Structure 1
């Protein structure tokens, strides 16, 4: 199975009200899950968060990013004021977040993107990139949808940025940080189980990039039932981890051979075969 590496560029704008321990506005830019830039209402300046961003982009770029962030801060705070007024929320803690971004597959140049708003922890309104229209996720967002759809040029402009400008900047950032973003680190794979338990975990960790497939096989055949594959999670060192949980009784384990197969772009698939040995088992077999 061929795995394609997908790169992503995402921006998160967060406005808060009634939370004294947190800035009233924060803007964060991320490439492939790494924070590349940050701005908040306390410092009032956009700054690089990766060495390669600082090395490749001049002061004019960061001044421009600061200007964009200040405009976004003003707009999101105004939207927060309108929402609180409409919902008659004079007190309490409230959070309004705008997020948008795009993905780029450097093998086939496939593009995906999104823009959405969330209010107090729930999805609120999202941009339909195909029809260039806003979609109210919550009934309370109908008023915002009607207002924003009247600004047709704005929704078309946002769609064009996400499908074109965002992609172009993402390509630049990936090139700037290629030594980090295009590196390939193989996963370490282990099985975690106890003889008396029906729960077996195939755990892959330490890999980069984050695209990985984990498959449980019984006597060579791919299993679909009794298997739960969790989402990919970040490690603290910039690598990722993922696990596939198998439910199989100790008696059934004696009748068949169970193997976990982990496929990653760093090299050949890794096979780890379940044995009756207690604890962690690691057995690497290349095709």
Structure 2
């Protein structure tokens, strides 16, 4: 389970900076009691839609989304994702065959979406697929071509690169349609997406000989900087920065761990400095299991345990965490209908259009 432990032009938004719309698709094989397909949509890294192969219905994950779209929207998205689910179930079997695999646990993941800077107007799009934690396919929007770093992905890349209309369609989707829907969702959720919640910071340690973990949690938005200080100077040696992880309530958490001997910690002044939205929190005192209601071992192991923690809300994102460092990609074809907020998925096996999704 290593891979389990991504309209309304002219709206005057009152919040500034870079915004993102991302969709994460995760297909699994060989995992009992786990959905075979999961889709999660995120706006500014906040989950707002969810679908899996057990419930088989697209559902809102934010009150502002539930209030903004009616039954027709959710029915349309459910039909779209039902088709996408079948495509992914087929695709993961095709990829397994290419790798000469039969049994075992396997994960096929896709992340696509767009970014928009409301200050500069700059936009960007991305579509990536990974298999078992490794790159599989990616779309180079600048050169309008598919790329695969592994031989097993060459057939899909070659077939897709022969569909010039498909490539032009992708370019249009990511530069126009995706951005329009990102702006629309930002307007829907502006009261929630504008909020700022400061992090709670703790220094945690299992025992005196264990590494010390600086744990920042409960903050929103997601941008945070964690720095270790030693005797008033920044310290980078033997420091490991953890992944940014979502909490169930839409906030985020992140850890930074430092490895020092008990004697070194005693003889020097170490502290953890967390910066978020222009505010700084400094923590110097190590908390023990007796001082916190949350078991330290669980917090320190949050990266590997995240799927269990947020299974019902952002399971697709959790599944993508390990793979995200690599950046793979999946062949897709956008809809010709500019009112569709998702793009069309294409089968890895044939390169032909199969379903439309927002």
The TM-score, its normalising length taken from structure 2, stands at 0.63
Separation of aligned partners in 2, 1:51 and 1:78: 34
Q: Does 1:268 align with 2:302?
A: no
Contact 2:25 2:110 in 1 (8 A): yes
Separation of aligned partners in 1, 2:56 and 2:255: 41
Contact 1:11 1:29 in 2 (8 A): yes
Deviations for 1:62-111, whole angstroms, at most 9, x for unmatched residues? 34434533553455455456556666778777654433122344454554
Structure 1 gaps of 5+ residues are: 282-287
Q: Compute the displacement of 1:140 (Å).
A: 1.0
Contact 1:194 1:278 in 2 (8 A): no
Provide the secondary structure at the position in 2 that maps to 1:259: strand
Q: Does 1:118 align with 2:118?
A: no
Query: In the superposition, relative to structure 1, how do residues 26 and 202 fare at CA in structure 2: closer, same or farther (>3 Å)?
Result: closer
Query: In the superposition, relative to structure 1, how do residues 183 and 82 fare at CA in structure 2: closer, same or farther (>3 Å)?
Result: same
Residue 340 of structure 2 corresponds to none
Contact 1:195 1:278 in 2 (8 A): no
Query: In the superposition, relative to structure 1, how do residues 42 and 259 fare at CA in structure 2: closer, same or farther (>3 Å)?
Result: closer
Contact 1:11 1:27 in 2 (8 A): yes
Separation of aligned partners in 2, 1:250 and 1:107: 48
Separation of aligned partners in 1, 2:212 and 2:35: 44
Query: In the superposition, relative to structure 1, how do residues 200 and 16 fare at CA in structure 2: closer, same or farther (>3 Å)?
Result: closer
Query: In the superposition, relative to structure 1, how do residues 107 and 202 fare at CA in structure 2: closer, same or farther (>3 Å)?
Result: farther
Residue 157 of structure 2 corresponds to 145
Higher-strand-fraction structure: 1
Q: Does 1:50 align with 2:62?
A: yes
Query: In the superposition, relative to structure 1, how do residues 132 and 177 fare at CA in structure 2: closer, same or farther (>3 Å)?
Result: same
Provide the secondary structure at the position in 2 that maps to 1:269: strand
Q: Does 1:247 align with 2:242?
A: no
Separation of aligned partners in 2, 1:19 and 1:256: 47
Deviations for 1:19-65, whole angstroms, at most 9, x for unmatched residues? 78666654432224443223456666534332211211234433443
Query: In the superposition, relative to structure 1, how do residues 222 and 84 fare at CA in structure 2: closer, same or farther (>3 Å)?
Result: closer
Contact 2:95 2:152 in 1 (8 A): no
Separation of aligned partners in 1, 2:206 and 2:94: 56
Query: In the superposition, relative to structure 1, how do residues 10 and 201 fare at CA in structure 2: closer, same or farther (>3 Å)?
Result: same
Q: Considering only aligned residues, what root-mean-square deviation do their CA atoms show, in Å?
A: 3.5
Q: Does 1:185 align with 2:228?
A: no
Query: In the superposition, relative to structure 1, how do residues 144 and 259 fare at CA in structure 2: closer, same or farther (>3 Å)?
Result: same
Query: In the superposition, relative to structure 1, how do residues 5 and 140 fare at CA in structure 2: closer, same or farther (>3 Å)?
Result: same
Contact 2:98 2:152 in 1 (8 A): no
1:156 to 144, 168, 185: 168
Deviations for 1:142-199, whole angstroms, at most 9, x for unmatched residues? 1111100000121221133223322221222122122322211111122235894473
Separation of aligned partners in 2, 1:47 and 1:31: 15
What is the total number of aligned residue pairs between the two structures?
275
Q: Compute the displacement of 1:206 (Å).
A: 1.5
Q: Does 1:207 align with 2:215?
A: no
Separation of aligned partners in 2, 1:189 and 1:156: 47
